[in-house]
Amino acid sequence: MLTRRGVLMGLFATALAPKAALARPKRKIFVLDPEYRPQYVFFDSSYRPGTVVIDPRGRFLYLIEDEFTARRYGIGVGRAGRAFHGVARVGRKEKWPRWMPTKNMIRRQPEKYARYAGGVAGGRNNPLGARALYLYRNGRDTYYRIHGTTEPWTIGRAVSNGCIRMVNEHVMDLYARVPVGARVVVI
């Protein structure tokens, strides 16, 4: 049987409970596999320092430091990323870039992408993430991008759309290290 004192004690305990205990449960925190975190690795190559080498099958991007060392980043690779090969240059870079689905994306999945046909302003909910490096060949945009993502769990995987995805913090690091005009090789 509840007494007045018992009810008051219960109310008092609830009032003193930490706010976190009263809040809705949060989503599970994503933890990136350490293999896909930026790290310096041995990379025996003939590429010049500053070259970006992308290995879509291996799901890694390398920024060449010297003839034996590269800074390696984990990537997620979209359909466009699996189809693009060869050499390009970073033609421009954008902080918090605007995103617009391609006509093919809208045609394939109109229920998902048609509402964004006018584009999405840059920001935390933008699919291109925090930074984008736009790749050009012969002075023309290839529509191939190295960009951040709002879906970090896609790193290390083949993903449905997009080009080369990186964790936002990682693409921000790469963005600071790679100048416009840098050579990019997709193997």
Closest CA to 108 of 78, 144, 142: 78
DSSP state of 36: G
β partners of residue 60: 55, 74
Residue with tokens 């970073």: 90
Instruction: Provide DSSP, 94-158.
Output: EES--B---HHHHHH-HHHHGGGTT-B-SSTT-TT-SEEEEEEETTEEEEEEEEEES-GGGTTSB
CA distance 167 to 96: 14
Active-site entry in 93, 147, 165, 170:
147
Active-site entry in 163, 164, 174, 184:
163
Tell me, yes or no, if 147 is annotated catalytic. Answer: yes
Q: 3-class SS at 183?
A: strand
Burial letters 156-165, b for 16+ CB under 10 A, else e: beebebbbbb
* CB contact at 8 A, 64 and 50: yes
Question: Which positions are annotated as active-site residues?
Answer: 147, 163
